[in-house]
Structures are given as structure tokens and as C-alpha cells.
Amino acid sequence: MSWKRHHLIPETFGVKRRRKRGPVESDPLRGEPELMQLFPRGLFEDALPPIVLRSQVYSLVPDRTVADRQLKELQEQGEIRIVQLGFDLDAHGIIFTEDYRTRVCDCVLKACDGRPYAGAVQKFLASVLPACGDLSFQQDQMTQTFGFRDSEITHLVNAGVLTVRDAGSWWLAVPGAGRFIKYFVKGRQAVLSMVRKAKYRELLLSELLGRRAPVVVRLGLTYHVHDLIGAQLVDCISTTSGTLLRLPET
């Protein structure tokens, strides 16, 4: 019998005194700077803004629905942008808006000074970003509301700011994120295989973090561990010796 079900009983009956629970409502905004610190800026020579994944936020905030709602609020306020990372439809990257703007400005404008992209990208950053907080943009939105021509949209795709999703719709993207995604996917597989090769396919968290990271893991073990726990690719079991990470049976 799981202990978890019983906490609903006093709530239903309303008679038992509620035990004071610790801060359950932990704010993702507080957790994100910590996660952003884990992102290795030096690896990409500051060309990429620090990207945090949604699954990492889930590993910090125990209630996922609350985390989702708070992230959505932050997105609506314009503090963060959520970006679709190509390898998995569910993996969303979270970037602070100012970071995104400064990095994209620097890197794209440096790379394409004088080329036709520059104007389109400037226009995009100035008009579309503040106005529309979504992950994706549609054809008629771009042409009618923001006044982009087809050629300008092609420039944006070439510059790496937009990625094609379907005929007539595009995802927001981070230029130069290809390397990050490559390191991320390889690193995730490497950390998972570390757990898989262990006897009984389980490892104590402290032991995992104490091991030397294999060469493939360029983003850091802690970064990947947060992501694995949040994405439920490993089960997190608390034992008397600390947290245990175990591969799920299914």
C-alpha cells in the first residue's frame, strides 16, 4: 500500500489536523538560475544562451501540473521563451528572453553582416518576439500581422531563427543549437548507459555523480541527471543511503 494515498483522506474528511508540509510551491523561477549555472557556457564560446529543459524543471518542482502552469505564466509575461528542440517532440528548452535576444543579436548579426538576413532578423527580433509568446508561428500570422514577405521568411529560416514544422508553420529556434542538441543526445544516452551497465541496473545518485564523466558527456553529469529524473527515464527511489536511480522495467 502506498503511503501517498492516505494524505487525501484527512483532506476529504477534514477532521485530522494538517501536518505542516515544507514549501511545496517551489517557484521554478528560483530553480532556473541554479539550472542555468549548470549549463556550460564556455563550451559553446558564449554563442548560445543558456538552455534549460522542461524535464529539469520537473525534477526540481515535485508537482508537474503546478510547474507547467507557472512556466506558462512566465511565458505569458514574456520572461522566458520556450523552444522546441528537434530530437523529441516533448523536449522543450527554456531560455530567458533577454539572453535569447542578446545572443541571437550578437551571433546572427556577426555572422551575417551585410547579407540580406540581417534586416529580416532585426525586424523579427523587434516586432515578433515581444508580441507573440508562442512556440510556433503560422503563415498568415507572419504575413498579415507582422508583414513579412516570403523571401524574408526564407531568410529567417536560413539564419536559423525559425525551423520548418509543416507547410505554413514554423517553430521558433535558436541559431547554432545543433551542436548543443548533438552533445545533449549523446550525453543523455551515455549517462543512461552508465545506469544500465550497473549491477541490477540501479545506481546511487551520489555514486553516479562521483564517477568520472565519460568523454561524450560534455554538458556535465548533474545537468543530465536532472533531465533524466524529470523525464522519468529513471525511477527515483529514496533509500536509507540516499537517492537511488533505477531503470524502469517497462
Contacts by 211-214, CB closer than 8 A, 24 or more apart: 214/190
- If one asks whether residue 250 binds other proteins (CB under 8 A), the answer comes out as yes
Contact string 194-233 vs other proteins (x = CB under 8 A) = -------------------------------------xx-
Report the first-to-last Cα separation within the chain, whole angstroms.
21
Nearer to other proteins, 90 or 106 (CB): 90
Do the strands 136-138 and 169-172 form a parallel or antiparallel pair, or are they unpaired?
Answer: antiparallel
Cα 172 from Cα 138, distance rounded (Å): 11
What's the min distance (Å) between Cβ of 233 and other proteins? 9
Contact string 105-144 vs other proteins (x = CB under 8 A) = -----------------------------xxx-xxxx---
Which cell numbers hold the place of 147?
508583414
- If one asks whether residue 89 binds other proteins (CB under 8 A), the answer comes out as yes
Q: Please state the φ and ψ torsions of residue 242, each to the nearest 5 degrees.
A: 120, -165
Cα 183 from Cα 61, distance rounded (Å): 25
Name which of 161, 156, 143 is nearest 117 in CA terms.
156
Contact string 32-71 vs other proteins (x = CB under 8 A) = --------------------------x----xxx-xxx--
Residues making contact with other proteins (CB under 8 A): 1-2, 4-6, 8-9, 12-13, 15, 58, 63-65, 67-69, 72, 89-90, 134-136, 138-141, 165-166, 168-169, 231-232, 249-250
